[in-house]
Every structure is written in C-alpha cells, then in structure tokens.
Chain A
Amino acid sequence: MITLEQKKFQEIEKMTKGYNPLLVLGCETCAAMSFAGGQRQVAELASAIRVARKTTEQKGEVLEDAVARQCEPEFVDLIADKVGGCDAVLSIACGAGVQLLAERFQDKVILPGCNTTFLGVTEELGVWSERCAGCGNCILDKTAGLCPIARCSKQLLNGPCGGSMNGKCEISKEVDCVWQLIIDRLTRLNRLEMLEEIFPVKDWSPAGHGGPRKMVREDLKS
C-alpha cells in the first residue's frame, strides 16, 4: 500500500484559512488504511478545524465527504456538485489524489492535507515501514527478496558499505542494514555465491529519472 500521514494541524489550519465552505475530502483506500484519510479521520479533522475556527472567531463552514479512491476520475466526478459549492477542497489523500482533483476541478483551490510517505507494509496495527521505491526495474530476484534501493540508506547495489555494524546501518541503531539481511538470507537459502555477480551501474530511467512516467496498455485503453 501507499502510506501517508496527516500534515501537522497548524500547517493545515494555516493553508485552509478563510475558505468558506471548506470541504474535507477523504480517500477510503490507502489513506484510510494509513489512518490519515478515511471517514474517521475526515470527521476528526473537520471537527478540529471547526473548533479551531470557533475559538479564533473565524467564520467558515466545514463540510465532510469521502470517495473510494481519489485517484480514479469516475469516483472524483461523483462529488462534482459538492465540490462546486465549496471554496476549497482539503484532500486527505496521497499526492496523486490531490492532483487528480486539481485536474478534474480546474477552477477550485485544492489543498493537500497529507504527506505521502512511501510504498510499504503494515508491520502491525499502527506501524508501517518502507519496502519498495518504485524504481521500475525490480531486482529482488538477485537480492534474496530484500530491496537495497528502498531499504539501504545509500541505495548501494553492491553492499554492504563499511558503516554496517552488528547488522545495523550507520545512520541509526534503529535501522537494519538491509545488506546484512540480504547476506543472512542468502546464507539461509544456501545461495551466497549469488553475491559474486557484481551489479552493473543501474539504469535509473524507469525510476523516473528519465522524466515523468506513464504507462499505456494498448490492449486495454480505449
């Protein structure tokens, strides 16, 4: 899933100031699963803005709504009327959602209520961690299923570096050295010899370094 977290309330309050009515719009997929933008968080945030506005004697109605996914035009279009009646939309979805709203509602102010963080897994309720960098060219077959691009602080392809200490990364004792994990796992799999193959210099163009990415499936598109 894509993980995201709500921006600090002060930042949200500042960017939404003066908009009346303001629509707080949730996204019921990744944002909800990150406890940043589902209906529960919509209710909490909208209420918080209302109370904050009241205590600072600002006027302005705050409306609430949510769609299944803000990254799909069909869902977004279903709330066109509601958006039409508002000054601004505070989207608590990932950046993709915010931008699709901006695209579909050309003359509306669209504001981001969240920071999109990473592609990751749920370790347990309330704990997520990064796993994938979306580099466009997966190498997990060569690294025992553990990604050095997403999980090595230096994105080394031929690690580890000299900073690897007792299985931890030199940037923090809290962070596992993914190269240590790779070695451990390859040892368990009895495939340590795989490390003898040296990675060539990585082509970063599929990772977006070759300009904004787009994907087209000729068989599916209209």
Chain B
Amino acid sequence: MTRNDLITEIEHPPCKLACPILTDVREYVQLIAERRYEEAFATIRKQSPLPRVCGRICTHPCETACKRGQVDEPIAIAALKRFASDGLWRDQYEAALPGKSTGHKVAVVGSGPAGLAAAHDLALLGHGVTIFEALPVLGGMLRVGVPEYRLPKNVVDEEIQAILDLGVEVKTGVRIGEEIKLTDLFEQGYKAVFMGIGAHRDRKLHIAGEDKLEGVVSAVSFLRGVNQAEKPRVGVKVAVIGGGNTAIDSARSALRLGAEGVHIVYRRSREEMPAAKEEIEEAAHEGVQMSYLTSPLEILGRDGKVSALKCIKNELGEPDDSGRRSPKPVPGSEFTFDVDMVIAAIGQAPDSSLVAEEIEVTEKRKRIIVDGPYTLVTTQPGVFAGGDAVTGPATVVEAISAGKRAAISIDSYLRGESPATVESAGPTETERLSSVIIEKTTKFERCVKTSLPADNRVKGFDEVEAVLSEDVAVKEALRCLHCFLGARLDKEKCISCLTCVRVCPLSIPTTSKMGEITIDPIACQACGMCALECPVRAIDISLDHRGEMSQEIEKGMAESHQPDPVIVGFFDLHGNFGSSDVESLKQDYPNILPVMVFGLRKIDTSDILKAFESGADGVFLAGCPPDTDPFAETADRVKRRMTHARTLLDAMGIDGARLEVCDMPEQGIVDKELIDGLIQRIKEAGQARSE
C-alpha cells in the first residue's frame, strides 16, 4: 500500500501518516498504556527491522505531527518506542521467517539502514541476499557515524544480527566499483542490485588553510575514528564548522575526548539549524559553545599546524532555494579566535565516483539519480538505489523507508511485473484543532527523560539517555488523544436526538437545523460519552469497543472457578497504579476479574447487568483520581448513572449494594477496605437470597 492510498483510504492518525514507514504509532502507544508491551513491540517491529535504533535516534516526525502538540506538548513517541523495544519482552517476539526461496540472488551494496532494511524485506520475500560493505564493519552511519553515547554499538550489532539470521550473506571490505563493478555483480548471477551507499564524502570548506594544515579534519573521518576502539586525539580548542547532526555529534565527541573548549561555527541562526533541537540543547548543556551567524574565512596556521580561525559575522537575507534565509556577510565584522583543531561538518555527498560510469549521478552533489520515490530505479536496468545516496544526508527512518520501498520494487522487477509508479503525496499537514477544543482539552505534562548529569557525560561515551521507567512510560502513553479512534456515527441509525451534542465534554458533535449530526473525527478524543449515551446505539467508538468488552467479561467469567464471590472489576487505566499493583490485586483477589478501560464513562448499566448475567456476584468500578482524568467533568455523570443502576438492581431483587463505585486511592489501584467490605456485603446478600 502506498502512502497515497493510505491518505485517501481512511482516516489515519497524524503520527502514523508522518512516519516514513507508516509505523502504527497510535496502536503501540495505546498498547503501552494498556501495559501490553509485547504487542507494542510487535507493532513497531512489524514496520521496522531496526526498532531499538529508531527508538534512540529517530528524528521522530511523528512527534512533530502529534495532535497533542497543539494542546501542550507532543507524546514522547520516540522515548515510548525505545521503552517498548528495549524491554526484555522483545525476546518473546516471533520474527517473521523468510518466505519460500525464489531462487533469485540480489546484491545489496552498503550496510546502512537503507541496505539493511532492503536486505531484511528481500529475505522475507524469499530472495537470496548478499550485502557488500566497503568497510570492515556493518551498519553504515549507525556504526561509523552516530557516536556511542547516543547509540550503543551492541544495540546496532544485535539488530543487524537478527537480520543476518534470516540467511542474509555478508561480504565486508568490498567496495563495489573498485575491483568488482556493477556489471560484474550481474555476471556473478545477481539479478538485481540495491545501492545504499550513503553519503560519506565530506564537502570541503573551500577556504585557505584547509588542505595544508595539520589539525583540519572532515567530520565523517573524525567520527569514524571516534567510533573505533582507538579514539583519535583532539585539540585543546576545537572549532566545528556546520549546523547539522554531524556537527553536533563531532562537537560532543570532541568534548568527550578531552577538548577544553569546543565551538560550533554556523553561518545562519539557530532557527535554521538543521540539527535536531534536542541535540542542540544537549550539546549546549554539556558545554559546547555556539557561534551563530558566523562563517569561516580562513584557517590560520603556525609551523604547519592549525593555530586560529578567521571568521566573519553574517546577517540573514532573502530565503534561498531551501526556503531558509541565506546568510550575507557583514562587511568589516571579521574576527579571529585561537583554535588548534578544525572539524569540517558542512554536509556530505555520496561517494559515487566509483560507480558513476555505470549509473548516472547528479552533477553537483553526486547523488544517484532514480526515476521516482516508489520505484527507485537507476539509469541502469536492474540497479536500484535509495537512502542518503539518493537524497543526500537525511535520516535513518527515511533510509529504512527507501530500503523497504526498494525491496517491493525489486521484488516486482524480479517477478517480471512492471514496478508501480506512484508519486508521493507530499507532506501531509496535521489539521489544526480549534482554539475551543485546545482550551477544553486537559493538559498533562510530558514525561521528563532521565539522562546522565553533564559532568559524567563528557568523561566518556556512556549512553546519555536512559530508557523510561515502566510507570513513566505508561503515564506518557496515557496522554495520547486517540486520534481517529473516536466516535463514528451511523447516519442511518441516527434519530437526531441531540444526545451526543449535549453530552460531549468537548462540544464536538454539531447539528444542522434539519438534524444532521456531524462529528469531527480529527477533533474527537474518543472519550466515549456520546457512544454510550446514544439511545439508539448509532455511535460506535473503536477505543474500548463494547462488543469486545462484553466478550472479555464472558470469557473471563467462564474461566473463573472461585469459591469466593466472583466480582467483575472495571478499572480506569488512568489511575496512579503500577504493574506491581495490578499483580498484587490479582494475587490478593483472585476472585476479581479486572477489566481495564480508558475511563469508566464507557460502562453502561447494561454492561453491569451483563456481568451479573454472566454469573458475577458483584461489580466494582474504580475511577481514577480527578487530576489524572482527562475528562474529569464526566465523573459526576458516571456516578449518577451508577445510582440508576443500583436502583434497578434493587428493583430486580439483586441488592444494589452488590455494585460498588469508588475512586482509586492517590497511589495504587484499590482501597482494600472497600473491596473487603463489598465482598462481605455480597456474602451476606448471597445468603439472604438463597434463604
């Protein structure tokens, strides 16, 4: 399925649409909220063969798109992904096995995320894959670019191993284009080639002093050194030129290797800086100095070694073709400062010269030319390309996406089908929420990540950021607004009774004067109030689907063989409880069948009667404390609904006291006294009834 189909097909949450590999973010966020971590991991792993890598360094366009971001701050999706992918439950995941062999051999050139993703998907499709890698190690920039303190190498190794376990072969130390040309690969029996050679050639500064002085290095080679056991020596005062992630990583690495002062010299202002915001903040926090609106003019030297950097200040002029305002030097603003090392990090181009005779590359930036983003066919039939090699320096997830698209395209090529030519739909902008809804939405603070204190960080390459704790992760996941899981109105059933218009805490349903109800699926947050109160059940919501809930109860009741009274307990997932609380509830009260819901709003009198119908002796509803409830204003309505239920139970001769409604304690899941009281009452009522 292409992105285009997805957009037009049905509504998808902004987070999913923003992800280049269409990871079902909403689903795994929700599964984490429900403490179903294995399934959360499976959801992530289904789309990405490198979940732990992505959980750490993905640029998370999903967060930029996240609707919560319009209300307060986006869900910390990347941190949640890391939480779901790092946990030991990932070992339970049963990865897909390679499909039946097709007999075709495919060469994948380059073992970065693009090559790895292509190899993974091609292997699953049953093709025989061999990876050719120029370097002695696998992983591309994941291994030789991104430093250990952001991406531990054992994480990279483990994920690569899982891909190799699919039967993918590897040839390291082979630079295609040198001894083995592309044509040779076809002669060796490969039926298709994927070029995922990345962008490893640093662009030059083109200033005086660059080539002849000792102490000037390119960022790619510097970081390659940083990622080896034998670390490079750094100067005392280091200038890093550039504003991308490579520049930031070079600067932070230089600090860790003992530099006393590190300056990033960037020609535009902070707003235009392409590096991730968090990275810039972390670098500044660790002590990296930033010189914005500054361009280097010349590297000065003494005795053949770097001694100073001459710069000029800039001001911002008109936007250039990248849309960013271009820097213009301010005459007379030249200045010089002392440095003994200069790292050039002003961008990379693909190292495509070796293959440029066989496939066409762009003139200036040397990028491999492909015919379209979904086919990825180069000018040479049977040769496909993707990742940084095609786009120039980009991101891991875009590289994975390219690898996956290439696998599909190569597969259809090998099967003799013409590859689909689908154009990308372009960036999808998240629809804006109205100010009324933003105002009415309960704000919840985004989780704070734990990281090493800055002093400890710069002493070495230990991973800076820690994985979220379980309770923090669950709480964060509960901030999700459940985009598109909300109210869907069956117009055929609707009788225009206006109940939804009247009960929605966000005033989302609206009516025309002829009674036509509209419920905006983008604005709806799936609180469930309308779906429940609708007298003709014309509204359905996907979150806590009624049908599934009653099945769960029936199944649970059928399986329960307790001597004690059996109680169905509905618990609001928004409570302040941890997994240990759930565990001890199960241990202390094996006679309680817990049903976890996103809000007690979703429990109707008929659900309570269903529980009794299925054989329950009592029903217990535990609501979350008001400050954790996203729809606290509905709590009173829930209580009144339960009073109605109790009256009905009394009238039925069942004794309304068998139904208990309470708030959870500030911390924990139940008040034992209350439950024990309920059990006692039920025992007494039970006796009374059988007399």
- A residues contacting B by CB (< 8 A) are 8-10, 13, 28-29, 32-33, 35, 38-41, 43-44, 47-48, 50-52, 54-56, 66, 122, 124-125
Contact = CB atoms under 8 A, between A and B. Distances in A.
Nearest to A32: B535
Contact of B499 (A29, A39, A41, A125): A125
A44 B495 contact: no
A56 B653 CA distance: 9
Given A40-B606, A44-B605, A55-B689, A29 B648 contact: no
A129 B239 CA distance: 79
B654 A32 contact: no
Contact of B606 (A32, A35, A43, A52): A43
B459 to A, nearest CB: 63
The residue in A66, A122, A125 that gathers the most chain B C-beta atoms within 10 A of its C-beta is A125
Given A9-B651, A41-B535, A47 B497 contact: no
Contacts of B498: 122
B675 interface: no
Interface in B675-690: 689
B613 interface: yes
Interface string B600-624: 0000111001101100000000000
Given A47-B609, A51-B613, A13 B495 contact: no
Given A40-B606, A44-B604, A55 B495 contact: no
B652 A48 contact: yes
A55 B652 contact: yes
The residue in A9, A10, A35 that gathers the most chain B C-beta atoms within 10 A of its C-beta is A9
B536 A28 contact: yes
B536 A38 contact: yes
Interface of B: 493, 495, 497-499, 502-503, 533-537, 604-606, 609-610, 612-613, 648, 651-654, 689
A208 to B, nearest CB: 28
A204 to B, nearest CB: 33
A120 to B, nearest CB: 14
B535 A39 contact: yes
Contact of B648 (A35, A40, A48, A50): A48
28 contacts: A9-B651, A10-B651, A13-B652, A28-B536, A29-B495, A32-B535, A38-B495, A38-B537, A40-B533, A40-B534, A40-B537, A40-B604, A40-B606, A44-B604, A44-B606, A44-B648, A47-B613, A50-B613, A51-B609, A51-B613, A52-B654, A54-B613, A55-B652, A55-B653, A55-B654, A66-B536, A124-B502, A125-B502
Contacts of B606: 40, 43-44, 47
B652 A52 contact: yes
Contacts of A66: 536
Contacts of B533: 40
A124 B606 CA distance: 24
Nearest to B614: A51
A2 to B, nearest CB: 13
Contacts of B495: 28-29, 32-33, 38
B613 A33 contact: no
A48 B609 contact: yes
B534 to A, nearest CB: 7
Nearest to A47: B609
Nearest to B537: A39
B653 A33 contact: no
Contacts of A55: 652-654, 689
Given A13-B652, A40-B604, A52-B652, A33 B609 contact: no
A48 B653 CA distance: 10
Nearest to B535: A38
B117 to A, nearest CB: 49
Contacts of B537: 38-40, 43
Nearest to B610: A47
Contacts of B609: 44, 47-48, 50-51
A23 to B, nearest CB: 17
The list of the 4 closest CB pairs from A to B, nearest first, reads: A38-B535, A47-B609, A9-B651, A125-B502
B535 A51 contact: no
A33 B612 contact: no
A55 B533 CA distance: 28
Contacts of B610: 47
Contact of A32 (B497, B605, B612): B497
A87 to B, nearest CB: 20
B641 to A, nearest CB: 11
A35 B651 CA distance: 18
B477 to A, nearest CB: 31
A22 to B, nearest CB: 15
